Structure 1
Amino acid sequence: MAPPGSLHSLEHRIRRAHPLRPAMRHSLAGWERASAAEIARRQERRLRWLVRLAAARSPFYREWFGRSGVDPRSIRTLHDLRLLPLLQRSDLVERPEDFRVYPRRLMWAAHSSGTSGMAITTYRTPGSSAFELSILERQWSWFGVPAGSRRVILRGSDFAADQTGVPVKLVPGGRQLLVSSFHLTPESVPAVLDAIRTFRPHAVEGWPSSIALLAALLRDRGEAVSVRAVITSSEVMSPGQRELMSEVFAAPVIDHYGQTERVMMAGECNEGGFHVFPDYGITELLPVEGTQPQWEIVGTPLHNWGFPLFRYRTGDQVGPAANDSCTCGRAFDLIGPVDGRIEDAFTAADGRPLPLPATVIDDLAGAREVQIAQLAPGRFEIRIVPGARYDADATEARARRNLDRLFGPGQELRIRTLTAIPRPPSGKLKPAVVEGPPRRSARG
């Protein structure tokens, strides 16, 4: 069920119309009122069902349980979860199909290079997607954003490469106005602003870098748009970006954290706490050696029955929470700042800013590691370490299509195959880097 082309709009319509959405909202309200002990019991009940399903139908887990001698029925409590192996990102690079429980036609694929530069493929069910939307709508409701809200979306939106005129698109029936992150310029802002005001959104949602770019362009024109909330995810946000977005849109910023693998989710509440959402998944924090208290996030999702992952190491790290409890009164665990995805902003050949540029390489399947570098404005290099399923011709063709579709025509691209991509002193591979000197555009 992987919808081609218009994945975002089709997925959104499916998840909004899912017949179990009312039941999901009712269940989530119960989790919000539950005690810590009741939350643990609910998690364990779902865990038992999911482990037995995976042991029976997933080739990866069927093989693992048979080899390990662990009886799936022995996994009953949160403590028992530790009997299962930790999954690495490399497991999804090499064997993504072996985790599937449902036929591929009943799910859609998702791709990411994440924070590690290792391109992975995962699958998700329509029910999982609808549940995720319900989780997010619950969080947004804490800030007065209604269910079924009208939202301006800035998450890449490659549709604008295939049309002329205003870089916006209304999703039919989806109550969403897409604004292309890759086509925001001083010249396009008046038309974009008119479209947003006509749409009358409850919220602006997307990548912090894209929303902040729009906010800066509006501020430069002396304009502002009042909404109920600015909803952010996918990137680490700077204090300056948060302040700018809150000022221009006259609204609180609601951040949430997740991953393409959908193994755990966390987000801000109306009292300022950053909470783990326990109905979404089970979260473990593994100590990171050699750091002042810092933990790696490990997640076990409780919603994606078609693609079960247990104890998946995200590679993202988190610091300690400022407080042990939150004045909001919810029994959801608190975590500190997440060290997630940080990318350098790129510049197109015509001077346009290009936020979150690693989207160009997110779906390059078969690459063990991949990185895109800007050598100069409009001049880019994709570096690839091939994996077991690597097809050089198909990967190069896809990379060039992605670059043209997302960044626009007129860019220069070189593709290099390497045995390893050099790491910075931190040891963490960034999926997108700027290595050449910046060039000021004609717009100044």
Structure 2
Amino acid sequence: MTLTYQDVVTADLSSLADVSGAWKKMGERFGELKTNYEKNVQGVLANGNWQGQAFGAQQNNAAATAFEFGAAKTEALAIASLLTDAQTELTRLQKAVKDLVEDAEKKEYKVDSSGKATYVGYDNLSTQERFAFNHDPDHGRLLADARVKAQGWTDEIAKAVKAVDAADQSVKRALSRATSDVSFDGIGIGGFNTQAEGDLAKAGKPDPKPGKEDGWVSEGESEASGPGVGAEASGPNIGKGKLAEAEAHADLGRAKAEGSLTNGPFKLAGEAEAYAGAKASAAAGITNEGAQAEAGAFAGGEASAGGTADAGPVGVYGRAEAMAGAEAGVNAQAGLDGLNVGAEAFAGAKGSVGAGADVGGIGVGVTAEGWAGPGAEASLNASKDANGVWHFGPKVGLSPALGGAVGFELTVDPGKVVDTVGDAANWVGDGIGSIF
């Protein structure tokens, strides 16, 4: 639970010293118990008069018990030290908050129970002074200046309260770690913690962010929306070469997530997307980059997931898609970014998978689909995506009731090809240099 301003200024931290003293005495007592147990139990039974398997089992258990007494001493003394550090740090930070409030009040700012500062310097003006102030040409500016300074005090107090809360969370982490035994020594996991750390600065550190300790850097984002409906239409726009376009949708929901892990030349990336609802669109246009026309409609649900793994210039990829519903579409596009023509119609359920490999910017892959329902599809694709990667590939499919489609794809990333050629040239140059 996050501490509030009221929590901070009303907290009584004096009891931490008493509690710390009690834990220290407990730790010292556990040390005495360990000594007494080793002398009066372990030692007495190990005088040589008792032999055999039962004796061995008893001695193993006795050793574990003696170990736990020692571990209990370590844990208790660590907690005593943490509580002492906690009182010192929290008292210092609490005083910083109270000092800020005192300074604000000296400058005629009142701080309420939530830590908000308000200027009250004008409240004590006499009737004559108030009349003069209200008719002062700078009346508005003075009030605005007072509000800005009040907000400054409020922000400073909030920052100081946040520092107390951060220290409090640090103490919570340290105490939790001190009382958690995760080793197999003594009686095993769940006993007393012989590794308990009594330094608050060390024991209270936040958990490391995922990926930082081992060199992997993670990035990701996600979004979700729905339900919702909408429609829009525009055109013609001769200046932009747009003849017309229209779109309508009735979404039950959509969600998308993507992320990556990078460590030097190694990169793992993936994305997933899901949609449920109905949508339809149509567009046509002619620009100096080419001509295009398309129309499509869909009703049902669809989902997809894909991922890549790259190690320098070599990579592999895979993806999977699923759809249940009805869809139909036609498209034709020709221009500087490539050629794409196709038509499809389907009703039922379909699933598809694709896989391939990429070396130095040139990739080859295959796709396969299984259809349950009537449909047909044919397409020829040669296009460039938003990242400048060219895609080439035919695809055909037919399903009277049960069937599917197969396709092949070739990708070329000009930028990656150039980088690979450059790296290869450097390798060759370094090799020749090492010879001569």
Higher relative contact order (CA 8 A, sep 6+): 1
TM range (shorter): under 0.3
Q: Could you state the TM-score of these two structures normalised by the residue count of structure 2?
A: 0.20
Structure having the higher strand fraction is 2
